[in-house]
Amino acid sequence: MAGSLGAQPTEKVPAHGRMVRLFDGKSLAGFDTLLRSQGVNRDPEHVFAVDDGVIHVSGNDFGGIVTQKSYGDYYLRAEFKWGEKTYQEKVGKARDCGILYHIDEPLTEVPKEVWPRAFEFQIQEGGTGDIWLVKGASLKVKGVAVTSEDKAGPNRYVKSQRFGGGVWKDLTGYRDPTGEVERPKGEWNRLELVAKGDHVWYFVNGKLVNEGTELNAVKGRILFQTEGAEVYYRGLEIAPLK
């Protein structure tokens, strides 16, 4: 089975219970699949595949694997690294995926509206650790309201940049020249999400990179994205907060 970056949590992570695997290392048991081209639980092209304890996401579609259970008040840990390929409208652009959480609505099969209402822990070259708000999700960052709208328009998807982030460019292989938190391409990165009531914290490789308060949803399912870029996930674990 593939290795890990270690089991000890980041120092600022609050006390929590025993870590439980979301991904058993052998299959996608406990997850539903969601794809823009196929809908729910249909993946004939094997966008998602499991190999030696790692989830390989080809990237050649948009959607994700979604936990069948809902979660609130938890500590989530996951690791990712980039592959090589980009697809469709993402060709030539920064490799992109993410973790959507607090999904509290049914999965839909409308192709262009594949993302459900959610908050996102962004994973993107040069932008890992940003907060994205999707289709009506809202929160505050440093006391300032950040709100998305559940209707077509420019505020359907709204971003709050990670702390210390620099100028971002949508180019394959892009690195933040002033505040990069990812390890070099090809290396594993560790993500940690703490969700406590209506408050969330994001950590990348042990560093606090974002924090939100007054979320307008506090529990739901968790989605690990495919968004036009080849990516690998492993070590998906969760624990209840004490």
Q: What are the tens digits of pLDDT across the range 84-95?
A: 999 999 999 999
69 domain residue, yes or no: yes
* Alpha-carbon torsion angle 38, 60, 54, 200, nearest 10: -80
7 domain residue, yes or no: no
pLDDT at 10: 77
pLDDT at 25: 96
What's the domain count of the chain? 1
Residues sharing a CB contact under 8 Å with residue 122, sequence separation 6 or more, in sequence order: 98, 128, 129, 130, 131, 132, 159, 162
Q: Is 38 helix (H, G, I), strand (E, B) or coil?
A: coil
For residue 134, the enclosing domain spans 20-240
pLDDT at 3: 63
Tens-place pLDDT, residues 32-50: 999 999 999 999 999 999 9
119 domain residue, yes or no: yes
Tens-place pLDDT, residues 17-37: 999 999 999 999 999 999 999
pLDDT at 6: 58
In the chain, the amino acid numbered 240 is: P
98 domain residue, yes or no: yes
pLDDT category of residue 1 using cuts at 50, 70 and 90: very low
11 domain residue, yes or no: no
13 domain residue, yes or no: no
Cβ atoms of 230 and 81 closer than 8 Å: no
Q: What is the CATH number of the domain that holds 146?
A: 2.60.120.560
pLDDT at 88: 94
pLDDT at 113: 75
Residue 54's DSSP bridge partners are 51
pLDDT at 32: 96
pLDDT of 140 higher than 80 = yes
Mean pLDDT over 222-237 rounds to 98
pLDDT at 107: 84
Mean pLDDT over 108-129 rounds to 88
pLDDT of 235 higher than 70 = yes
1 domain residue, yes or no: no
pLDDT at 11: 75
pLDDT category of residue 110 using cuts at 50, 70 and 90: low
Tens-place pLDDT, residues 164-202: 999 999 999 999 999 999 999 999 999 999 999 999 999
Cβ atoms of 127 and 108 closer than 8 Å: no
pLDDT of 5 higher than 90 = no
Estimate to the nearest angstrom the gap between the alpha carbon of 7 and the chain centroid. Answer: 20
8 domain residue, yes or no: no
> CA-CA distance, 6 to 237, in Å (whole number)?
12
In the predicted model, what is the mean pLDDT of the chain?
A: 94
